[in-house]
Amino acid sequence: MQGERILAEGPSSMCDAELLRIVLGTRDERLAAHLLAPGLLALRRATAGDLLLSGATDRHAAQLLAAVELGRRVAFAPGAEKPRLLHARELARAVWPRLAHLAHEEFWTILMNARLQEIRSVRISLGGLTQCSVTPREAFAPALILRAPVVAFVHNHPSGDATPSAEDRRLQLLLDEAGRALGLRVIDHLVVGERTVHSSVEGECAAPELG
């Protein structure tokens, strides 16, 4: 029952005693209450002897020690440093394998944090041989949902020519204006061709190296 609840509602919905009983694999409420009586800080510092004296079995003591140590390691584990997407080629690299050789057009957004590190790349629209329809509401929805303060927009040209069309430039102006209204920073608009990328900031540049 507790296992089903934690999967359905999440661990934050459960009290300390319920979480402890799941870790120990027991329904014994008295044991959980006894172990928690000195407080969570005492539990974090407990030794095997302390737990055994509190009434835990060897198995329960081992499970609890392992869970506490794992939680400590997770809390202090260094996060992987993501690269910063400072230039057009770095932005293009995030989606190049998905777009460069398609026979149809797709429109993507690269969501970033304030340090210009990728949060996620999301496909917004899938179109035909020459265009795909995109509205500002669709383009910015993922950024609003995931609270990304910075975005870049990318689409491909199946023809292989990365030169922006008049429609591309019109959409760029529309999205820039919408981004300002929403308080989101639009750092670039990229068009992916067969061998080159066109950036609204840097102009045409070579395709990114993926090795």
pTM, two decimal places: 0.64
What pLDDT is attached to residue 136? 93
Query: Residue 44 has what pLDDT?
Result: 83
Q: Copy the structure tokens of residue 207.
A: 């395709």
Residue 6 region by backbone torsions, left for phi larger than 0, else alpha for psi between -120 and 50, else beta = alpha
Q: Which residues contact 195 (CB under 8 A, 6 or more apart)?
A: 160, 206, 207
- Residues of the chain whose pLDDT is less than 50? none
**Can you give the pLDDT at residue 183?**
97
pLDDT at 154: 97
